Structure 1
Amino acid sequence: MASYNSVNGAERKLSFTGLVVAGEISDDAGQELLPLGSGFFVAPYIALSARHVIDEITKRFHGCTLPEIKGELAFGIDFAVLHPQYGLMKWAVMGYGYTPTIDVVALLVEPRDPVQLPEGFNWETPTLSFAQAVEGEEISALGYPQSDHRFDSEVGSRVRIQAYSSDGYITQIHELRRDSTMLPYPCYETDARIEGGMSGGPVFNSAGQVCGVINSSFELEPGSGESVSYVAALWPCAGIELTDTVNPISKSPKPYYLQMLVDVGLIKGVDRMTSVDPSGKVTILVPSGRARGAQGTDGHF
């Protein structure tokens, strides 16, 4: 049965999940900084979120989407984590990695507040599953729908964070795309409740591994109160292109793909069903009997 509940502040998952907000320089004192979204660390200094969250922020403050921006950003973006041990930690987003074919973006960050990581700080990151999900599998989505970020002229940025977990089942798998306009990439349909602000948060499979990124929710009929939710599949993220290295952020000698960070162990990954060619095209092997319409075949994206 689907459920939707606030998350206990001591929950381990809160150490690597957080809130994506427009940075402190972007609005007048007292104004709310919107839109908001969620995200999660996958490696030290690297987080994933929904690309449409970043696109909405860039369209508001820059007039175009992230892939269209040339040169420096005219505003800042922060990733705020309410860590169970260290409290509120804010990270400045300094770089991005994405592929135009999926609704997931990699955020490269540096500490903003505190500027130095606490002594003994231990990075907590989830294990990612790069296999195709299974219809009927139980999932749990985590995001920050009832959170806000305001700017005060005297004390600066104020962030209020509250995580929620939504449980449900995968009701349908769209192996390559649901449609050609709204969801033109691999995704899953679910009966889990998804609220505004949760986009970009992780979706965990029954083994506790991240299998997707929260994407969107649509009302079935106006005024019905019934909706259907969608999750971007994780496996195409293997083809996200990165052009910078982290700690500190600097230009990489040559571009590389997220898959490489899995290969060298910087990202914890299981079910390596993906491969990435030099152009960034991701191929996934779908074992026989795992998915309708792709049994024993390769899927390309």
Structure 2
Amino acid sequence: MAIPHTPTFVPQPADTPASEIALRVLVEFAGGETHVIGTAVIIAGHLAVTAGHVLDDITTRFGSGQSEGSKQVVSDYAIRLYQITPGPEYVVWNVFTAWRCPDSDLALLHLGLHGSSDPTKPIAWRTTPVHFTTPSVGTPIAAFGYHSSVPRTTPNADGGYHLDLDDKPTTSTGVVEEILPAGQPSGNFTFPCFRVAARFDGGMSGGPVFDEAGMLRGIISGTLSAGDEIDPPISYVCMLWPLLRLRIDVNRGDAHPRDVKYPLIHLVRDGLIHSQPSSFEGIHPSLISSWMSTEVEPSKS
């Protein structure tokens, strides 16, 4: 896909194809109290990535349940991801477990089906290929997320509630302007990231950032300046490579040990996350080798 080199900020229809892989992140309480928090992107079956500060916002505002290292098990409320698939059909996912990625603004979410508008329709996962290294300076990028969200709930006769969500799906484009392997020395972006001339509004945090090949290259973190007619926007995107070393305990099927912890790179090795050999270029081979060879260990959860 061709991406403009000049910054653009373009509204999209509610059922844009991007809404199949880029999902709205909400917090819901029993009775209908609802909060829209940000955006997330599916990277594999039952797994999505969002910005770490989206998860931090949830646990700070609403509390967190049991925790173990980088893993947090939410309780007292539900974190739900809302997806629109072709039809359109509406699919709602519960977040069962969330892992906060150390030294980065990334979080991994483990999903389970909550409900859909057509329960007879089988789930068909659509994911985007992931490139774990950073695009070079001058590379055009396209980001996607939801902003200006207004949720409305109305009670149902059965004691439940109906949710209406008014928001603005938006594609933002620009170019990579600076690579920051260790982030800024101070401020809010002190983790591996890259600076882009693209506008990101509140609520877009956690959304996907793509290159012209359609590969996922980063996650929206935030904006210092939305820009104007004279000055371009100043925004930051999380690098993806820290996810590779994140230790998780998602069961992978009968061909793998159950209830064990392992680094996420094993999902790439096993083909459960779609990538290419070139996706590791720029990461020291010894790191890749050490993460790949890490043995599984029993999960304590």
Report the TM-score, using the length of structure 2 for normalisation. Answer: 0.79
Post-superposition shift, 1:54?
1.3
3-state SS of the aligned residue for 1:158?
Answer: strand
Tell me which residue corresponds to 2:83.
Answer: 81
C-alpha deviation, 1:183, in angstroms: 1.7
After TM superposition, the structure 1 = structure 2 runs for residues 216-255 of structure 1, keeping only pairs within 5 Å, are: 216-219=222-225, 227-245=233-251, 252-255=258-261
Which of 93, 112, 118 is matched with 1:91 structurally?
93
Alpha-carbon separation, structure 2, partners of 1:10 and 1:156: 19
Which structure 2 residue ranges, 5 or more long, are not aligned? 1-5, 295-301
- Listed as ranges, the matches of 1:259-298 within 5 Å are 259-270=265-276, 271-273=278-280, 274=283, 275=288, 277=290
**Could you tell me how far 1:124 is from its partner in structure 2?**
0.7
Q: Equivalents in 1 of 2:146, 2:134: separation in Å?
A: 26
| SS class of match (2:76) | coil
Q: Deviations over 1:106-165 (max 9, x none)?
A: 111111122985434421100111122101100000001133333333334333354110
CA spacing shift, 1:70–1:267, aligned 2, 3 Å: closer
How far apart, CA to CA, are the structure 1 residues paired with 2:212 and 2:122?
A: 31
User: Secondary structure of the equivalent of 2:259?
Assistant: strand
Q: Which residues of 2 match residues 113-262 of structure 1 at below 5 A?
A: 113-114=115-116, 118-154=120-156, 155-180=161-186, 182-219=188-225, 227-245=233-251, 252-262=258-268
CA displacement, residues 268-290 of structure 1 (integer Å, 9 cap, x when unaligned): 11223242635999xxxxxxxxx
1:107 is aligned with what amino acid? L
Sort the Cα spacing of 1:69 and 1:268 in 2 relative to 1 into closer, same or farther, 3 A.
closer
User: For 1:31-110, what aligned pairs fall within 5 Å after superposition?
Assistant: 33-62=34-63, 73-110=75-112
Alignment equivalent of 2:25, drawn from 20, 24, 36: 20
Name the Cα RMSD after superposition.
3.2
Q: Structure 1 unaligned runs (5+)?
A: 282-301
Structure 2 distance, partners of 1:151, 1:44, is 29
Deviation at 1:87, TM superposition (A): 2.4
Question: In the aligned structure 2, how far is the partner of 1:277 from the partner of 1:116?
Answer: 44
Report the number of matched residues: 272
SS at match of 1:147: strand
Q: Match of 2:261, as an amino acid?
A: P
CA–CA separation in structure 2 for the residues paired with 1:228 and 1:102: 19
User: CA, structure 1 residues 158+11, in 2 after alignment: closer, same or farther (shift >3 Å)?
Assistant: closer
